[in-house]
Amino acid sequence: MKTKGYFALAGLLILALISACQPAWAIIIESERGNVLFDKSDFEKYKKEFTNTEICPGLPLNYILYRSSIEVVESATFKDTAGNKEELDWQKSGEKVCLDEKGKISLGNRKLPSNSIKIDEAPAGDELFSILDIAPTVLSALGIGYENLPGKTLVEGQFDHVALIFLDGFGYIKYHQALENGLLKNLSQGVAAEKAVTVYPPRTSVASAAILTGLPPTENGIYETGIRKTEAATIFDLTSSSGLKSIAVEGESLAFNLRNTEVILSGDRDLNGSTDDNVFSNAEDVIKTNMPDLLWIHFHGIDDSGHSFGPDSEQVNRKIIEIDSYYGKIINMLPENTLTIAFADHGMHLVNEEGRVGNHGNLIYDDMVIPVFVETK
């Protein structure tokens, strides 16, 4: 018995020694916001939050940067103590840069210098709003109380109705190009387009959850595509519990599950290859016959065309013109004393992937910076 006890004690000691001998590591992340020291304990903490291993077996560096309050990266310079140095253009490479549990940074199979990273942030402007500002704006406009939301309200005052118009994939860069090229007749008239930042990863379900809850992914639990519902309260939950009515006019499917609201799906019933005309038609019916306190209208076409033909394609421009026209008609139909907030969930950048010419998901200006249009009637 005594011998067994000694063996057990020795085993425990060996285990303790092994864990104590695990090499400690730390990486300095330098940016305009100051220096952040990221170490193994941070890695373990973030790994529990971000469990998706499709991008990296460890953690995407983008997630670490985003959690370090860096939202839009232009380039990054990697250095080590041996004097090695390498700079990466983030648009080309950022999405695939990974950090493993040993503190080693890699791009695909290639190791990068891993002692410090200097981040050059893209100049996104000083007055940067957030996608998290939409929820408090909606709730405040409808006179619904809320607590502990990090965003701020974009307009003061109360309204009889709020209309949310979701312009999937219409990033700020695309908005600005469309404006300069004269494609917008309505989204530029009497509307202030605020420049805002979305959440990481810039994907529809993640951004939808942030819009609906007013909370970042770390708090609402939606940090990747495929997680379809949140435990956090949504604007539809709070609208419903306040005795108000909401309707959501969606495209052919739900990118994110909507509860406590009446959902109207808009499949391509006329088989013309687009659901935007069906969304508009359903929204028109709702506004004319059954306008709720909160109306959600989701146009998917800019994003769909961007994936198929690229963000700078003629097909995307045609979609922008079409959806801008629907926007104008909707604004005209909406009743008096309505607050309209039109917004994108993410932007898009050119890629060379099988079956895709455009995509989003990187911590870059093209994907992360979005317009938010606020209009009162």
Partner 1 sequence: MNNWKILLISLIILSGIAFPACSSGPNVDWNLKISGAVTKSLDLKYQDLVKLPQTDLKEILMDKSIGEDETGSWSGVKLDDLLKQAGASTDFTTITATAADGYAIEITRDELKDAIIALKQNGDWIQKSDPEHGPLRLVCPQTPANRWVFQLTEIQINK
Kindly state the helix (H) or strand (E) to which residue 75 belongs, with its residue range.
strand 73-79
Query: Tokens 């310079």 — which residue?
Result: 77
Cis peptide before 201 (omega within 30 of 0): yes
Kindly tell me which residue out of 252, 285, 332, 335 binds partner 1, with binding defined by CB under 8 A: 252
Residue 317 is a binding residue for partner 1 (CB under 8 A): no
Shortest spacing between CB 118 and partner 1, in angstroms? 32
CA-CA distance, 360 to 306, in Å (whole number)? 10
Check binding of 260 to partner 1 (CB under 8 A).
Answer: no
- Check binding of 321 to partner 1 (CB under 8 A): no
Q: Which of 75, 225, 240, 325 binds partner 1 (CB under 8 A)?
A: 225
Whether the Cβ atoms of residue 94 and residue 363 lie closer than 8 Å to each other: yes
In the three-class reduction of DSSP (H, G, I as helix; E, B as strand; rest coil), residue 184 is classed as coil
- 33 vs 269 by CB, closer to partner 1: 269
Q: Which stretch binds partner 1 (CB under 8 A): 15-23, 92-100, 263-271, 336-344?
A: 263-271
By CB under 8 A, is residue 181 in contact with partner 1?
Answer: no
Nearest distance, CB of residue 80 and partner 1, angstroms = 33
- Asked if residues 106 and 94 have their Cβ atoms less than 8 Å apart, the reply is no
Q: Binder to partner 1 among 271, 288, 289, 353 (CB under 8 A)?
A: 271
Overall size of the chain counted in residues = 377
* Residue number with CB closer to partner 1 (70 or 235): 235
Helix (H) / strand (E) containing 287: helix 276-290
Is residue 240 close enough to count as binding partner 1 by CB under 8 A? no
The single residue among 11, 125, 143, 267 that binds partner 1, judged by CB under 8 A, is 267
> Rounded CA gap, 93 and 86, in Å?
12
Q: Which of 68, 266, 274, 338 binds partner 1 (CB under 8 A)?
A: 266
Query: According to the binding rule CB under 8 A, does residue 247 interact with partner 1?
Result: no
Angstrom distance (rounded) from CA 297 to CA 279: 7
Lay out the site mask for partner 1 across 28-67 (x = CB under 8 A, - = otherwise): --------------------------x-------------
Residues contacting residue 227 through CB under 8 Å, at least 6 positions apart = 205, 221
Nearest-5° Cα angle at 288, 287 to 292: 40
Tokens of 352: 């060379």
Query: Residue 285, interface with partner 1 (CB under 8 A)?
Result: no
β-strand 246-249 against 294-299: which pairing, if any? parallel
Q: Point out which span in 39-47, 80-88, 224-232, 236-244 binds partner 1 (CB under 8 A).
A: 224-232
Residues at the site binding partner 1, with contacts judged by CB under 8 A: 54, 225-226, 228-229, 252-254, 257-259, 263, 265-269, 271
